[in-house]
Amino acid sequence: MKKMLLILLALCCLPFSALAAENGGFSDVPADHWAAEEIAQAADAGVIAGYAGGTFRPQADVTAAHFCAFLARSFLSDAYWAPVEVEKRAFDYPEQPETAADRRIRALNACLPVLEGTEVLTAWEAAGQQWGDFADRPLSRYDMAQMVYNVLREKDAVPSAGTFDTDQVSDWADIPRDCRAAVSACWGLGILRGQSDGSFGGENTLNRAQAAVVWRRMADHLEALQKQAQEKEDASTEVSEGDLSAAEAAELLKMPVFGLQEGETVQQMMDRINAKTPRCQEGCLPNGAPRTEENVQALLEKVKEGCPDGTVWNSNLKFNYMSPSMGGGKGVLAFGMAVSDYVYGEETSLTQHREFRTLAAGDVVYIKNSTVERVLVITAVDREKERYKACELVEGQNVYWSGWGPMWEFMDNSTTVVYSRGNRQHS
């Protein structure tokens, strides 16, 4: 997993089962409210505050100022809580206490770096870099998605090469191009999903209860990545403490077989496998062996052991997978992503290209057009004869470990993309 700098408050360390109140203590949030749990969690973490009289106003539109406060008090806390100069009264009177308006400005200023690409930032610049009433207007779903996306990018928590099935979004063609990366990330990660009609509805707004749910999903995503990174770091430390050679480490860290256990989803399988392997050292595979063609092929044999010819792998939800480096996918693409992460380690760098004559064992070739969706995990290459062997999966078919085939069959296809791992240079 890529290196992350996650600045979370104690919200990711507190047991949320021990909340101060089921509804955050707000009189207008009944215990059976659909977002009561998320509102209570945000209130318990000090991220949200209510109004005079102990209300939260869950149905009220969330504004830019509101959402900036959510983000600034949690994910951008370094900027929010940094010391600021407070103007003194005349005649050396004591400093004036910070008002609610001051706190509003503090939150908005702390969020300036993550407002890039929003209409809110455009309005702020047009107003001479002053916060006007526009910050108290309802926040659009486009702007919220962009703010969430910018926070996750800052935390290095967005897949660098995300693949997203835009067919899920009924109004994808209407989404402005400069908003698509943010919408794709938020939808793909399940942080800000569509509306009841399957559209994203970016011009629409959200209420304060919905904003609390979005915040909670962000926290869950970042916490899961942080936990996963810590587990890998701990496992890597355990291996390195014995000063093992690469061969000894490979023997100690025998990789689990790539295959679903009873009742598992692909995501659960990969989480289980990744938890048992340390963070890859530079130039090494997850089992500690050097990143050579022979060692890559040995791990591909482990994949074949768990997914022999005829293994069923289709497009239902059980086979969906979110790769930290490659993004989210389903069906054949999820298969290629999962095998690649298994062989190379999910944190290993990724390159997309179309330079087919540089293909090597472990590369993933993905083809999708109007007639076929197909993925090939390359297992061997004969460059002189321009042919390959692969583990292949075609949409609607089962896993197939192929013999030698000619490269030209996918080289001439303009929809073909190759995913290579480990900073390989292509010429």
Residue pLDDT, tens place only, 23-54: 568 999 999 999 999 999 999 888 888 888 89
Q: Does residue 178 lie within any of the structural domains?
A: yes
Point out the domain boundary residue: 191, 222, 253. 222
Looking up tokens 């992460």 gives 341
The first and second tokens of residue 396, run together, are: 């609607």
Q: How far is CA 395 from the centre of its chain?
A: 25
Point out the domain boundary residue: 222, 242, 274. 222
Q: Does residue 251 lie within any of the structural domains?
A: no
| 283 and 160 within one domain | no
| 213 and 275 within one domain | no
Q: Does residue 247 lie within any of the structural domains?
A: no
Let me know: does 280 contact 274? Beta carbons within 8 Å: no
Give the model's pLDDT for residue 23: 59
Q: Does residue 351 lie within any of the structural domains?
A: yes
Q: Does residue 241 lie within any of the structural domains?
A: no
Q: Which residues does 422 contact at the CB level (< 8 Å), separation at least 6?
A: 283, 291, 344, 348, 349
CA–CA distance, 311 with 337 (Å, rounded to integer)? 17
Point out the domain boundary residue: 164, 198, 222. 222
| 218 and 270 within one domain | no
| 272 and 182 within one domain | no
CA–CA distance, 51 with 295 (Å, rounded to integer)? 61
In degrees, rounded to 5, the angle at the alpha carbon of residue 74 between the alpha carbons of residues 69 and 76 is 80
Q: Does residue 326 lie within any of the structural domains?
A: yes
| 334 and 218 within one domain | no
Q: Does residue 244 lie within any of the structural domains?
A: no
CA–CA distance, 378 with 402 (Å, rounded to integer)? 10
Q: Does residue 34 lie within any of the structural domains?
A: yes
Give the per-residue SS3 of 353-394.
ECCHHHCCCCCEEEEECCCCEEEEEEEEEECCCCEEEEEEEE
Range of the domain at 60: 10-83+97-222
Give the chain's domain count: 2
| 300 and 174 within one domain | no
Predicted structure pTM score: 0.56
Give the model's pLDDT for residue 5: 37
| 150 and 24 within one domain | yes
| 185 and 77 within one domain | yes
| Residue 51 per-residue DSSP state | B
Q: Which residues does 405 contact at the CB level (< 8 Å), separation at least 6?
A: 387, 388, 389, 390
| 139 and 33 within one domain | yes
Other CB atoms within a 10 A radius of the CB of residue 27 amount to 11
Segments of the chain scoring below 70 in pLDDT: 1-24, 82-97, 159-165, 232-253, 412, 423-427
| 181 and 278 within one domain | no
* Exposure on the CB side of residue 6, measured as CA atoms within 13 A: 25
* Exposure on the CB side of residue 114, measured as CA atoms within 13 A: 29
What are the Cα distances from residue 246, in Å, to 41, 232, 249, 280, 347? 45, 17, 5, 12, 19
| 303 and 183 within one domain | no
| 202 and 77 within one domain | yes
The first and second tokens of residue 321, run together, are: 């997978």
